[in-house]
Amino acid sequence: MNTTTTGNAPLASLPMGKSGWLAGRSLLDWLYALLVLGGAGYAFQRYGASMDGYERGILAGATPALIALGWFWRPLRALALAVGLASLLAISLYNRHTDGFGADLAAADQVFWLKYFLSSQSAILWMSVLFFMSTIFYWLGFLGKAEGGNAVGQRIGSGLAWAAVFMALTGTMVRWFESHQIGPDIGHIPVSNLYEVFVLFCWLTTLFYLYFEAHYKLHAQVRALGGFVMLVVSAAVGFLLWYTVAREAQEIQPLVPALQSWWMKLHVPANFIGYGTFSLSAMVALACVLKEASAKALWLGLVALPAAVLVLVAGYAVGGSDPAAAGAAAKAARLIGGTGLFFAIMVALRRPINARTPSVLLMDDLMYKAIAVGFAFFTIATVLGAFWAAEAWGGYWSWDPKETWALIVWLNYAAWLHMRLMKGLRGAGSAWWALGGLVVTTFAFLGVNMFLSGLHSYGEL
């Protein structure tokens, strides 16, 4: 067995959960399983008549999956139960006020707990505040005087990240309920537009980071990476708030016909597991690049990465006559300038930063695990998307811009994994590649919506 060390303990000794799912299960494990089964039974009894066969199958499959995840990583049990209780409380408060169709959503502005905490909009606003606060505390802890940073600040940042994930999931579940109270055939899982998927991206990315934080808990410096990862989450939250103000995106809208499919419930979450873990790996790669690359390479990267994005954006903006494209290009240019400034600050401060980040070997291992998980789910999402396309448009693949860029993302990370596993790619080279992968992934996620039109144009900017 390989016992390569990464500072304080060998990688092979890091806990990955107990072996054997049923052997050694505690009373609390079985109690948790019974609670999940009870919740699923209640959902079937209460809402089964409104479900089709596919939705019943998804709920039946999600039940053992949630139990298994809670057994594998125990903090998820408390999270799942807390989100369930908060969602049920919000539903009960809504159901005290009814209109001609169902619960009166005006209660969100009249009932104290709904208005300030538990309605979907309130919960998602709390999520936003908590993510910003988490980022601040992670960096306050990171910049502490002691080598490795201040552990108290980083623990507070971690706790706030958990609280933000709780509010995000509560807001998502309550929004799902709210959508069903508007009118017949309007209710849907909230993963159908940019507002909803940005919430999904934020909590998924954070939850994966928190798992890795626990996985590498023997390494005192691993929480230093929380500041890096939470930066991309906070950037997503900033975009979410801007998008909410600019487009009133928080309003629940009926699904367009192509989205009225059970495939959406599977394809979109799987896709965003990929986006989230790829983004996580890129932020770890940034810390790795600062530690491993030469000063000359860092300053060259400072010019090359934004320039590559600018050329890509300009190519689409200049080539079109749509004034909106030029406006989007201007916004993209400001974003690129801000990103370049941030990278310059990171390069300038690399010495104090490098003193507080984990070893390159540990960061390289974390990048690999994140990309491997993301690639697996992104592959599943791509296959599911092909089946969905066949159902909606009559063909598995149409070279739509979104499909084309999804394929580019897939090929990029397939090549990264191939080079690592077959050619031993490590260190600065793999980190630069993973960091560049964020550019490709971001364009597939947002750039296509900004500059290209096609069958997937459901969330234009």
Place 133 in a pLDDT band, splitting at 50, 70 and 90: very high
User: Hey, which residues does 103 pair with through a beta bridge?
Assistant: 98
pLDDT at 329: 61
Query: Which pLDDT band, with edges at 50, 70 and 90, does 460 fall under?
Result: low
Per-residue model confidence as pLDDT tens digits over 204-251: 999 999 999 998 876 667 788 999 999 999 999 999 999 998 888 889
Please list, in sequence order, all residues whose beta carbon lies within 8 angstroms of the beta carbon of residue 378, skipping any fewer than 6 positions away. Answer: 270, 271, 273, 274, 275, 278, 406, 409, 410, 413
pLDDT tens digits, residue range 385-394? 999 888 877 8
pLDDT tens profile 185-209: 888 889 988 999 999 999 999 999 9
Q: Is 337 helix (H, G, I), strand (E, B) or coil?
A: helix
Contact 385, 409 (CB under 8 A): no
Q: For residue 145, what pLDDT is reported?
A: 61
Question: Token pair for residue 397?
Answer: 């693949």
Stretch (H or E) spanning 246 = helix 224-247
What's residue 461's pLDDT? 56
Q: Check: CB of residue 325 under 8 Å from CB of residue 317.
A: yes
Return the domain boundaries, the chain.
Answer: 28-72, 76-253+266-451
Pairwise CA distance, residues 179 & 157, whole Å: 33
The values of phi and psi at residue 455, to 5°, are: -65, -25
Average pLDDT over residues 85-112: 91
If one compares 101 and 180, the residue with the highest pLDDT of the two is: 180
Alpha carbons 88 and 92: distance in angstroms, whole number:
6
Alpha-carbon separation of residue 277 from 161, 235, 304, 357 (angstroms):
16, 15, 24, 19
Output the pLDDT for position 147: 53
Decide if 160 contacts 133 (C-beta within 8 A): yes
State which amino acid sits at residue 429: G
Could you tell me which residues come within 8 angstroms of residue 460 by beta carbon, excluding any fewer than 6 positions away? 449, 450, 453
Residue 314: predicted pLDDT: 58
Q: Across residues 320-327, what is the average pLDDT?
A: 54
Please say whether the beta carbons of 232 and 279 come within 8 A: yes
